[in-house]
Structure 1
Amino acid sequence: MKQGILSQILDYANRANPYPLYEELRRTPVFHDGEGPYVVSTYHEIHGLLHDPRLSSDTRNRGAAAGDPLAGQEEGEGQLPPSFLKLDPPEHDRLRRMTNRPFGPPHSPRRIDGMREELRSVVKGLIDGLADGRGGSGGGDGIDLVEQFSYPFPVTMICRLLGVPREDEARFHVWADTLAASLDPDPDADAEQREKVTSSARMELGMYLAGLIEERRKNPGDDMLSQLAAGHGQGETMSTMELLSTAALLLIAGHETTVNLITNGMLTLLRHPDVLERLRREPRLAVPLVEELLRYEPPVQLLPQRTPLSDIEVCGVTIPKGAPMWLVLAAGNRDPQRFENPDRFDPDRKDVQHLGLGSGIHSCFGAPLARLEAQLALSELARRLHNPRLLDDPPPYRRNAVLRGPRHLMIACDDVRP
């Protein structure tokens, strides 16, 4: 019965609503069709594996496997090394620890909270700009929330945080799209061609960042690139290549998932107008609402790059050392064995220990910033857009099955409140 379900999940035709497929997948908590990856889809098993030191995030530990589109995707000579996201301890711990010093506690405890007013200012300016395309009785052709708000907001903020010129967005946007697409286990893609394109994008982004870092070493500021380049702290330093790889990760991951979180969030609210109206009246609802969104419509649907370092038994199935594994976070987030009425969007849900930001040592590094951005964005959109409504439902989605979110979200409203 399960034959072909992975190809259905990856099929763009099912991108708008993969959840019935996830429900089917959960009937076999560890699914393997004999050729492809071992796929884990239930909450408790995924959560346990994310905390299991026998599970590697480094694809260099993966044996050659038939049907594994990610096998063999390693950096070549002159390429950036893997980011800490794709490393195991102790290398992962060392790089993440150094990266965290200019970002969060204990060394920089007020970094994110100190951005709150700047975040509000950017949100205000972007929403002010929506008035010209509000549609409805006010005229205009509608608002593309992705192009006009969900994308420029986190991009602007990660640029300011890192010290990347915002006007360079047109340059790094293409590289970021290419590298994000490389995460997608597309079985129909030409693996050799895709790796060639990905390697080229990685090299060009690395060269671009190398220029910025050299500039920051000569003229340091209060941005993260300056602080990482200075290498302050406890005698630990990054090599130049590690610094470039880390900077590339922060730039791309710092906006890609947040774009999806905000867009999925507004789409969900427009489909639940009672919750949208409540958020308008109760802006503090944004905090639990974003946590429920991370469960209900997570911006990262699955983790396709995990490898056992030894044989692991899960639900009576032995997953052999070196075999490719997928952890389907979005399926685990709607597991009825963990969440009551899992297909219901409920911002009052009391126990929302979701997998939307991962768990364990690889939990989302930028979670504090992503949460704050989504809370401010959605509460302000709810407050200021009068009578917002979808013009296209379901909207067109990005091709990516891993980073799932609408490519465009066309809405109209009667007015943009001050």
Structure 2
Amino acid sequence: MTTTETPGTLARILDPSNRADPYPLYAELRRTPVAPQEDGSYVVSTYREITELLHDPHVSSDLRNQTRPVPSAVYTEGTQEFINTDPPDHDRLRRMTMRHFGPPHSAGLVDGMRPALTATIGRLLDGLADKPQIDVVDEFAYPFPVGVICDLLGVPPEDEPRFSQWVIRISELVDYNPSLDPPEKLQNGTQALGDLHKYLGGLVESHRSRPGDDLLSRLATDDGPDGRMTDEEIVTTATLILFAGHETTVNLISNGVLTLLRHPDVLQRLQSQPDLIIGVVEELLRYEPPVQIVPWRAAYSDVTIGDTVVPKGAQIMLMLASGNRDPDRFHEPDRFDPSRPDNQHLGFGGGIHLCFGGPMARLEVQIALTEFFRRLDNPQLVTDPPPYRRSPILRGPLHLHVGQG
């Protein structure tokens, strides 16, 4: 019979003061793979159980199926993206997006971006070359994916500064805590989201009348087997691509720089064996995943997980970062090993909601880390551990100061 996990373990994981190293707490949590909480939710922390639930058709991703109220910073009626929907709506919208985002219909899209990505990284590093100290987050990891996604969507270069400001304000909603933050933070983020949606709606109309070789143009003019997306569906899909792609990539780059500087032996191998970067990024997705928790799943009906029955509508929290360090699945899980065999990590989730932007994120981070350590002169950590963002869901440094020379 499953019992509640050690009192306070989840609360300590969610506590920002433990953000720098939550992994001992995840190990404590794994003693009870499926842990019921006092508020009626269930926390799942082991690899096998997480994987089963990611593939279980009885588990819903639709936030409207939650019996507990979802915070307004997470969900607002009428703004549902397909990552928070279930089949058949999810499958239809995902198919319609993937036709223009990857194989089999757009097989060369991601790899064709390699020259542009390398050039963008080069320009960023040119501006950092003479600085004795840089903030990897603010000056490197953060601006890179915004520019990439703007180019992918077809945002005019002159509008990128406005786009970046909206991203900053909306991203703060991820860390919003009504007991700690002023209400203006929520209001500003919500206003920015509304402004972004209005802007994207106008851009969709413009691209439909004068289509180009960009994702918004393709979505606005495509009449494929599933028909055409509505303007609202295009806007919410573009918003999903922007934030899922941006936040994941920022954290993955920042965590990558930090992890490699903490493991000079691996960094030395990478510098002498550039092809190792593929294994480095995959191991980063396991060892320091940018998305640590999937917090809002619900059961369509009573679901049995191990020897625990989760009742219909109960909130289910999937602790991806814990599953990635599960010793029953990974040998020496707390060791950073880019040569790890059979590295089927949970860094991009799994099942029907497996991150469809994963190939692009992988390529961005491979190029970013390779060029960062090739171009910078003897980079060294200034502060370790760095300060972290408050969010336990999207975990990454708030700032990462690195000296060079």
CA shift, 1:197, in A, is: 5.5
* 2:141–2:253 Cα contact (<8 Å) kept: yes
Paired residue secondary structure (1:386): coil
Q: Which residue of 1 aligns with 2:32?
A: 28
Q: Which residue of 2 aligns with 1:19?
A: 23
2:286 to 275, 282, 295: 295
Q: Which residue of 1 aligns with 2:295?
A: 304
**Matched residue count:** 401
Whole-angstrom CA distance in 2 between matches of 1:352 and 1:177:
33
2:112 to 114, 118, 137: 114
Letter in 2 for 1:119: L
Matches within 5 A, 1:190-339: 199-234=190-225, 236-339=227-330
* 2:96–2:226 Cα contact (<8 Å) kept: no
Paired residue secondary structure (2:27): helix
CA gap of 1:151–1:167, structure 2 versus 1, over 3 A, is farther
Whole-angstrom CA distance in 1 between matches of 2:180 and 2:161:
26
CA shift, 1:152, in A, is: 1.4
Q: Deviations over 1:85-112 (max 9, x none)?
A: 0000000000010011111111111001
Matches within 5 A, 1:19-418: 19-64=23-68, 70=71, 74-76=75-77, 80-133=78-131, 135=132, 142-183=133-174, 186=177, 188=179, 199-234=190-225, 236-414=227-405
Paired residue secondary structure (1:307): strand
Letter in 2 for 1:367: G
Paired residue secondary structure (1:411): strand
Letter in 2 for 1:301: Q
CA gap of 1:186–1:306, structure 2 versus 1, over 3 A, is farther
Give the TM-score, by structure 1 length: 0.91
Q: Which residue of 2 aligns with 1:5?
A: 9
Whole-angstrom CA distance in 2 between matches of 1:384 and 1:38:
46
Letter in 2 for 1:53: P
CA RMSD of aligned residues (A): 2.1
CA shift, 1:256, in A, is: 1.2
> What are the ranges of 5 or more consecutive residues in structure 2 without an aligned counterpart?
none
CA gap of 1:257–1:72, structure 2 versus 1, over 3 A, is closer
CA shift, 1:60, in A, is: 0.3
Determine what percentage of the aligned residue pairs are the same residue: 55
> What are the ranges of 5 or more consecutive residues in structure 1 without an aligned counterpart?
136-141
Paired residue secondary structure (2:286): helix
CA shift, 1:177, in A, is: 4.1
CA gap of 1:213–1:404, structure 2 versus 1, over 3 A, is same
Whole-angstrom CA distance in 2 between matches of 1:124 and 1:173:
20
CA shift, 1:380, in A, is: 1.4
